[in-house]
Structure 1
């Protein structure tokens, strides 16, 4: 029980400190662009009603899910192939280094030319940015598979899909999840950016509309929604990661306990 309380204290100490600091720093503010926190919190339930959640938050979440899932599938599949074959890696590496150096927001106008201004464009923008950390981490994870385990699998005749599933992906899964975690934050950023271009709904669209109409407290509530959304997605991802990598965390814990 004491350990749980200490963990909760560590989790909520910094957010509480930041919240109190924000409240005190903005309490007497008369700047229209920096309203008091109490005004923002009072505006929050007025803005983010059930209808607003359905019309703006839900479409944003669907776009983020679609782009993120597409990037995960493509990144893991391509990363497994590139990491498994040295010649393929030698051919693809210069191109990958060039493409990953291009900031994804720069590609928004280009993607709009080919995909239009609908949801397809927004999903493509999210996927184009999320794929790189997943792909590169998968490549490195596949390259780092223990050669002894590879030879053992070959000796026992484990090859094809069974080798990929039970050896390669399992061994590379810690780095794959590291790439997935990085891609999640990138996906949220690109979701907002894509919705600022020729959109009619979404959290990014709503924040821009509040800013253009000088509804500054409403704009700040949108920023809070994005922060809360990022926090909730991080918690969900952490739970999934802990479950999927239970074997890995168990090995690390056992290694720490051993003399």
Structure 2
């Protein structure tokens, strides 16, 4: 309960401050928070949630999931081989230096205005934290345990599952957490051009048609989506890394 109260205390304070500071505002582009809240029920109906929020979530899940799978697979291959690291490092540094939003026009030219393009935008933006953290996690694996695996001839899938993935999993989870926020940003960017649904499309459409309270409500929905996904990720992290957190708790005693 104490942790829950601490988590919601600052958002409540900020919303209260915004409520009172914006009360009586006559600025068209900065309406009172009360007006934005009133716009919620009429704007975010079940039909709009199905038509716009659900497609965005599906694209996000597909793009983020693909980015994690590819990032971990490539990271394991590159991190486990010095030759692979030497060959791939220049290319990785080049691609990582390219801002993902700059590739949106290129992807549109190659794949058109399709859901595949929007998913590829998410993948290209979110893969790098997972890939680079996986590489570092594999490289930082305990050498003593690596020698033990060699001594007992633990190879192949068993070594990958019981040693490499376990050793790299804290770093992989860190990269996946960073990738989640990037994936949400790239989801919105991918929906700004050449689409007729999605959260990004709806928010920019409200802005273009001067429905400012509805636009602000869309920003709130996007933020709430991020909070919900972060909470789900925290639950998954505790389940995946229960052994790691337990070991750290014992070490602190």
Structure 1 residue ranges (4+ consecutive) displaced by more than 6 angstroms after TM superposition: none
Question: Could you tell me which residue of structure 2 aligns to residue 38 of structure 1?
Answer: 34
The SS at the match of 1:226 is: helix
Alignment length (residue pairs) = 253
Q: Give the corresponding residue for 1:131.
A: 127
Match of 1:218 among 214, 219, 223: 214
Write the deviation string for residues 39-72 of structure 1: whole angstroms up to 9, x where unpaired: 0000011100000000000000010011111111
Secondary structure of 1:197 counterpart: coil
Greater mean deviation of Cα atoms: 33-42 or 155-164 = 155-164
Partner of 1:31: helix, strand, or coil?
A: coil
- How far the C-alpha of 1:145 sits from its partner, in A, is 0.5
Aligned to 1:23: 19
The residue aligned with 2:231 is: 235
- 2:193 match: 197
- 1: distance between equivalents of 2:246 and 2:174? 17
CA distance in 2, matches of 1:14, 1:199: 36
Give the corresponding residue for 1:87. Answer: 83
Question: Hey, what's the Cα distance between the residues in 2 that align with 1:237 and 1:117?
Answer: 30
Aligned to 2:163: 167
Give the one of 130, 137, 147 matched to 1:151: 147
CA distance in 2, matches of 1:61, 1:155: 47
Alpha-carbon separation, structure 2, partners of 1:243 and 1:98 = 35
- Paired with 2:92 and 2:17, the residues of 1 have a C-alpha distance of 43
Question: How many angstroms apart in 2 are the aligned matches of 1:190 and 1:223?
Answer: 15
Matches within 5 A, 1:246-257: 246-257=242-253
Mind listing any 5+ residue stretches in structure 1 that lack a counterpart?
none
Number of the residue aligned with 1:180: 176
Q: Take 1:28 and 1:174, find their aligned partners in 2: how far apart are those partners?
A: 49
CA–CA separation in structure 2 for the residues paired with 1:199 and 1:56? 11
Secondary structure of the equivalent of 2:35? helix
| Structure 2 residue 68 is the aligned partner of structure 1 residue 68 | no
TM-score by length of 1: 0.97
Alpha-carbon deviation of 1:212? 0.4
Taking structure 2 as the reference length, what is the TM-score of the superposition?
Answer: 0.99
Match of 1:109 in 2: 105
For 2:8 and 2:230, how far apart are their aligned partners in 1? 15
